[in-house]
A and B are shown apart, each in its own frame.
Chain A
Amino acid sequence: MKTIAASAVRPRVAVHKFSSCDGCQLAFLNLGEDLLTLASRVDLVHFAEAGPLDPDTEVDVAFVEGSVSTPEDTERIRQIRAHSRLLIAIGACATSGGIQGLRNGVFDSQWVTQIYSHPEAIASLERSTPIASHVKVDFELWGCPVSGPQMLAVVNSLLLGVAPRDNADKVCTECKRRGYPCVMVTHGIACMGPVTRAGCGALCPSLGRDCYGCYGPAENANTDALAARFAGLGLDSVAVVQRFQSINSQAPVFLAAANKIRVSGND
Chain B
Amino acid sequence: MLAHPDPAGFLPLDQLPELLSLLMRQGYQCLGPAPEHGAIVMRPLQTSSDLARGLQAEQAPGHYRLTHDSDNRYFAWAHGPQAIKPHTFAPQESVWQVDRDLAGVLQFRPVMPEPPLQALIGVRACDLAALALQDAHFLREGRRDPQYAQRRERLFLVAVQCAVPAATCFCASTGDGPTPTAGYDLALAELAEGFVTVAGSEKGAAVLRALNLSPATAGQIETARQQGEQAAAVQTRSLPGQNLRDALMSRLEHPRWDEVAARCLACGNCTAVCPTCFCHAETDVPALDGDSSRHERNWDSCFGESHGYLHGFNVRSDIRSRYRQWLTHKLATWHDQFGRGGCVGCGRCIAWCPVGIDLTEEVAALTASEVKP
Q: How far is the CA of A262 from the CA of B27 in the complex (A)?
A: 61
The CA of A217 and the CA of B298, in the complex, are separated in Å by 22
Instruction: Report if A2 contacts B (CB, 8 A).
Output: no
Complexed CA–CA distance, A73 and B208 (Å): 75
B4 to chain A, nearest CB (A): 33
A194 to B65, CA, bound (A): 20
Contact B299–A182 (Cβ < 8 Å): no
Q: From known contacts A41-B290, A160-B286, A185-B351, infer whether A176 and B91 are also in contact, taking CB-CB under 8 Å.
A: yes
Determine whether the beta carbon of B267 is less than 8 Å from that of A170. Answer: yes
Task: Return the CB mask of B331-362 against A: 1 if under 8 Å, else 0.
Answer: 00000000000000000000111110000000
Indicate whether B212 reaches chain A with its CB closer than 8 angstroms. no
Q: Report chain A residues within 8 Å CB of B262.
A: 222, 224-225
**Residues 201 to 219 of chain A near chain B (Cβ within 8 Å):** 208, 219
Query: Quick check: is B326 within 8 A (CB to CB) of the other chain?
Result: no
A228–B265 Cα distance when bound, in Å, is 11
Q: Is the CB of A184 within 8 A of B37?
A: no
CB neighbours of A266 from chain B (8 A): none
- Is B265 in contact with A194, judged by CB distance below 8 angstroms? yes
Q: Which one of B39, B65, B266, B319 has the greatest number of beta carbons of chain A within 10 Å?
A: B266
Tell me how many residues of A have a C-beta within 8 Å of chain B.
Answer: 42
Measured between beta carbons, the chain A residues less than 8 angstroms from B26 are none
Question: Does B264 lie at the interface of the complex (its beta carbon under 8 Å from any beta carbon of A)?
Answer: yes
Task: Tell me which of A160, A220, A226 contacts B305 (CB under 8 A).
Answer: A220
Which residue of B81, B91, B266, B304 is within 8 Å of A182 (Cβ)?
B81
Which residues in A have their C-beta under 8 angstroms from that of B355? 225-226, 228-229
CB distance from A170 to the nearest CB of B (A): 5
Mark contacts of A109-120 with chain B using CB atoms, 8 A cut-off: 1 yes-contact digit, 0 otherwise.
000000000000
Q: How far is it, in angstroms, between the C-alpha of A68 and the C-alpha of B269 when the chains are bound?
A: 37
Interface contact B288-A38, CB-CB below 8 Å: yes
Given known contacts A152-B288, A229-B354, A185 and B265 CB-to-CB distance under 8 angstroms? no
Task: Determine the distance from Cα of A8 to Cα of B65 in the docked complex, in whole angstroms.
Answer: 58
Contact string, B282-310, partner A, CB cutoff 8 A, digits 1/0? Answer: 01011011100000001111001110000
Chain A hits for B267, CB < 8 A: 170, 172-173, 193-194
Is A183 an interface residue, CB under 8 A from the partner?
Answer: yes
Residues on the B chain within 8 Å of A224, using CB: 262
Q: Which residues of A contact B269 (CB under 8 A)?
A: 172, 176, 182, 194
Check B37–A177 contact: CB distance below 8 A. no
- Report A59 CB to chain B, min CB distance, Å: 19
A153, A224, A229 interface centre (most CB from chain B within 10 Å):
A229
User: Which residues of A have CB within 8 Å of B298?
Assistant: 177
Asked whether A181 and B36 contact (CB < 8 A) given A41-B290, A165-B283, A176-B91, the answer is yes
Q: Which of B94-144 contact A (CB under 8 A)?
A: none
**Cα of A165 to Cα of B304 in the assembled complex, Å:** 14
Specify which of B37, B318, B351 is in contact with A180 (CB 8 Å cutoff): B37
Q: Which residues from chain A contact B319 at a C-beta distance below 8 Å?
A: 220, 222
Q: Render B58-100 as a binary contact track against A, CB cut-off 8 A, 1 for contact.
A: 0000111100000000000000111000100001100000000
Chain A, Cβ-Cβ closest to B354: A184
The B-contacting residues of A in range 154-204, CB under 8 angstroms, are 155-156, 159-160, 165, 168-170, 172-173, 176-188, 191, 193-195
Interface residues, chain A, with chain B CB atoms under 8 Å away: 34, 37-38, 41, 152-153, 155-156, 159-160, 165, 168-170, 172-173, 176-188, 191, 193-195, 208, 219-220, 222, 224-226, 228-229
